[in-house]
Amino acid sequence: MKNKISAILCVLTLCLFVLINVQEQTHFIKVKPLNGVLYQPEKKPAVIANMIDGSYQQSLETYLRFNFGFRELFIRSYNQYIWDFYHKTLNYTIVIGKDNWLYGLDDVINYYQSSVYSYTQNCAEMQRQCDLEALRLHKVQHILDEYGNFIFVSMLPSKTFVYPEHMSENPGLSLEPFHAYQYYPKLFDSLGVNYINVLEIFHNWKGKVDYPLYPKTGKHWTYIASAHAFDTIVRYIEHKGNMNIPNFTVSEKYEDETVYPDNDLESLLNLWRPIKPNQNYYAIAQLDDDTTAVKPNFLIIGDSYFWNLTQSVPLGLIFNCYYYWYYNSSVYYNTKYDHTDDADILYELLNADIIDLSYSPEQLYVFSNGFLPKALLYLTHDDAEIDSTLNAIAASIGSDNEAERMKEAKKLLFESPESYFPDLAGDGIPATRNSRIPSILESRQF
């Protein structure tokens, strides 16, 4: 009897390994892919040289570890096991708070300490960078005012600063704190920069509204909160920019199944079952009837909070066109180009009636992502002068690769244009203007 059982187990084991191998080669059964950033290791070619030095065997072992059949099912099962029995996760970018509230690790670090040390060695250096960025924005705002373009900052909220009571205790971080979200408003006020502090608004709303401002299992504001917040932002633009934009009304809330990204952190846990209990509310935003309103062109540079707005607010009915420069890098809702490196920044600046620099507290340490120094440079100096300076910088770089030299030259110039154009330094507004500005204004698209 024991021999028969052993034989059966042996056959079943062999069948399982064969099934896994067939799945690895053919993917004949469709399985739900894992969420998050997936690492795909390189598998070196099976040539004699690689086999002799062992690199082929090592790469094959790593490759199979990430590509064996039904890997997704095994990982989800193990993740569910450690969640159910130990209330833990192997995803170290997520912090499990009280009552199964989820937070991003970077957000928690920024709350208890500061994200400053991810970008600089000390607070003084970060303060200097903030001072410089705010001054650049002051200059860009002043110049754009001359041409009727409205630029402002929407300082967005953060789950950790709105709902800190659900976080776990301080993990022991003790470095000197510096929070950009507290520092920038002082700079903006002193320079007269246009900005709206949505984090402060959320603090005022908390406990007074009948809907959650943040989802239990998500990182970003809820759909319904983002709609109400953007309604407030639109009214701020109307007031400060002296324009009448189409307004919208947000309906009463209703409970519904969770819609991504209200569960974007939970999805990274890669579990079999959703976390419960968990309630999510939604609302419908409808455009108000106002025949006197004018649809402006809208350019937004910022972080991932904007994605909720694309689903919760009828942006296409409010604006003539809207373009999203994601961290001033990838470009969305614009068929002309995919990356900001390919954009004519002067044209885009002047063609946008409204420019919004939209950043949450954790991202303010990289505020504008290089947009402001480049915008200031092209608003004040001719393209030929800029190109000539780029060529001179590239020529001074010791490299045989021309493309690499130009890439490094652009990095040096666009990160610190004041080093190469002294008139951009200091507190004063530069007097010169790019000679292309009149022709661009004449061809503006409305």
- Chain segment 355-406, per-residue pLDDT in tens: 999 999 999 999 999 999 999 999 999 999 999 999 999 999 887 888 899 9
Query: Is 60 exceeded by the pLDDT of residue 14?
Result: yes
State whether 39 and 180 are in the same domain.
Answer: no
122 and 32 in one domain?
A: no
Confidence of residue 31 (pLDDT cuts 50, 70, 90): confident
List pLDDT tens digits, range 111-133. 888 888 888 888 899 999 999 99
Looking at the structure, tell me whether residues 436 and 366 fall in a common domain.
yes
Q: Is residue 94 part of a domain?
A: no
Q: In the predicted model, is pLDDT for residue 165 greater than 90? A: yes
> Which uninterrupted H or E stretch holds 134?
helix 123-146
Residue 244: per-residue pLDDT: 94
| Residue with the larger pLDDT of the pair 309 and 116 | 309
Return the structure tokens found at 266. Answer: 């939970």
Tell me: pLDDT of 171 over 70: no
pLDDT at 425: 95
Cβ neighbours around 24 below 10 Å, total = 14
Query: What distance in Å separates the CA atoms of residue 357 and residue 326, rounded to the nearest whole number?
Result: 11
**pLDDT higher than 60, residue 446:** no
pTM of the entire predicted model: 0.89
- pLDDT, residue 445, reads 62
Query: 356: domain range?
Result: 102-381+421-442
Residue 139 lies in a domain: yes
Residue 368 lies in a domain: yes
Q: Averaged over 158-182, what is the pLDDT?
A: 84
Tokens of residue 263, six digits: 């569960």
161 and 65 in a common domain? no
Instruction: Indicate if 259 and 142 belong to the same structural domain.
Output: yes
Domain final position from 52, 82, 112: 82
Lookup result for tokens 């004040």: 380
Q: Per-residue DSSP letters for 363-421?
A: GGGGGGGGHHHHHHHHHHS-HHHHHHHHHHHHHTS--S-HHHHHHHHHHHHHH-GGGT-
Average pLDDT over residues 9-28: 77
Given this model, what pLDDT does residue 175 score?
Answer: 63
Instruction: Examine the domain organization and report whether 12 and 156 are in the same domain.
Output: no
User: In this structure, what are the phi and psi dihedrals at residue 75, rounded to the nearest 5 degrees?
Assistant: -65, -45
Q: 306 in a domain, yes or no?
A: yes
Going by their DSSP bridges, the two strands 195-197 and 150-155 should be labelled as parallel
* Statement to judge: residues 234 and 114 lie in one domain: yes
CA angle 114, 120, 125 (to 5 degrees): 100
Of 196, 195, 231, 228, which is closest to residue 212 (Cα–Cα)? 228
- Residue 396 domain flag: no
Quote the pLDDT of residue 83: 93
Could you tell me if residue 149 is left (phi over 0), alpha (psi between -120 and 50 degrees) or otherwise beta?
beta
pLDDT at res. 229: 97
Task: Answer with the one of 15, 47, 82 that is the final residue of a domain.
Answer: 82
> pLDDT tens, 277-295?
888 999 999 999 888 999 9
User: Do 69 and 210 fall into the same domain?
Assistant: no
Q: Do 74 and 151 reside in the same domain of the chain?
A: no
Q: At what angle do helices 371-380 and 383-395 cross, to 10 degrees?
A: 120
Out of 104-113, 256-265, 350-359, 398-407, the most confident range is: 350-359
For residues 239 and 122, membership in a common domain is answered with yes
In the 8-state DSSP scheme, what is residue 166? G
Distance in angstroms (rounded) separating the CA atoms of residues 305 and 155: 11
- How confident is the model over 92-102, as pLDDT tens digits? 899 999 999 99
* Judgement on whether residues 8 and 112 belong to the same structural domain of the protein: no
Residue at 138 is within a domain: yes
Q: Which of 82, 110, 145 is the last residue in one of the domains?
A: 82
- Residues 350 and 220 placed together within one structural domain of the fold: yes
Q: How far is CA 389 from CA 21, 223, 347, 377, 421, in A?
A: 58, 46, 21, 12, 9
What is the average pLDDT across 144-172? Answer: 92
Strand ranges for 297-365 from DSSP E: 297-302, 321-326, 330-332, 354-359
pLDDT of 163 above 90? yes
**Number of structural domains, the chain?**
2
